[in-house]
Amino acid sequence: MRNLCQALLDSGLTGMTRRRLVVLDRDGTLIVEHQYLSDVQQVELLPGAASGLRQLQERGLGLIVITNQSGVGRGFFDLARLDQIHRRLHELLHAEGVHLDGIYVCPHTPDDDCRCRKPNTALLELAAKDMGCDLQASFVIGDKACDIALGRRVRATTLLVRTGYGAQVAPERTITPDHVVDDLWEAAQVIRRQLVE
């Protein structure tokens, strides 16, 4: 398979200066976890996700998704199906008044040893370049150890949500998120407090 580090970006963001980002995992953080999600009808926002993101968006934070999608590399679904899933995600969020500034995808398997698969930082570095953002002043939210490790590697503030796999991951002593929260709504409250400190 050719190198498919894909950045699925909305237009109009290049050249923004030092914008702070909220970097979101997709499955188990933003939408309901379905292993190797390939059915557009199963795309479902988690409770509180849209409300939390809307609050952050209103504070001027950029919202992006960085997601490992090894189902593409494993041949479970193709990039066209992945695009349909992300279009549906955009539709659901738009209906709630939320706009994602970009979705960045790693389609590789763990065995591909790529630079874009979380916790590697290539996609986040690409987002920082595209949006002119300050990663150390940004926030990384996810439900897995790789999400927290991604944030740690760029010295961002990390938040582990207990949705998805988060409830299982939270007790592990191998990861050290800055905050552990129930969901994206609670994550938004933590971030809002930090913005005024």
Whether residue 44 lies inside any domain: the answer is yes
DSSP secondary-structure letter at 119? Answer: T
Would you call 23 helix, strand, or coil by DSSP?
strand
Residue 17: which CATH number? 3.40.50.1000
Whether residue 183 lies inside any domain: the answer is yes
Whether residue 154 lies inside any domain: the answer is yes
pTM confidence score: 0.90
> DSSP letters along 65-79, please?
EEEE-HHHHTTSS-H
Whether residue 175 lies inside any domain: the answer is yes
Residue 111 annotated to the active site: no
Burial call 58-79: b when 16+ CB within 10 Å, e when fewer: eeebbbbbbbbbbbbbeeebee
pLDDT, tens digit only, all 197 positions of the chain: 333 444 443 333 333 346 899 999 999 999 999 999 999 999 999 999 999 999 999 999 999 999 999 999 999 999 999 999 999 999 999 999 999 999 999 999 999 999 999 999 999 999 999 988 999 999 999 999 999 999 999 999 999 999 999 999 999 888 999 999 999 999 999 999 999 87
Whether residue 39 lies inside any domain: the answer is yes
The number of folded domains in the chain is: 1
Q: What does each C-alpha distance from 48 to 147, 163, 183 come to in angstroms?
A: 20, 11, 7
Whether residue 1 lies inside any domain: the answer is no
Give the amino acid at 130: D
Query: 54 is in which domain, residue-wise?
Result: 6-196
Residue 78 annotated to the active site: no
Q: Point out the catalytic residue in the list 10, 27, 113, 182.
A: 27
Whether residue 67 lies inside any domain: the answer is yes
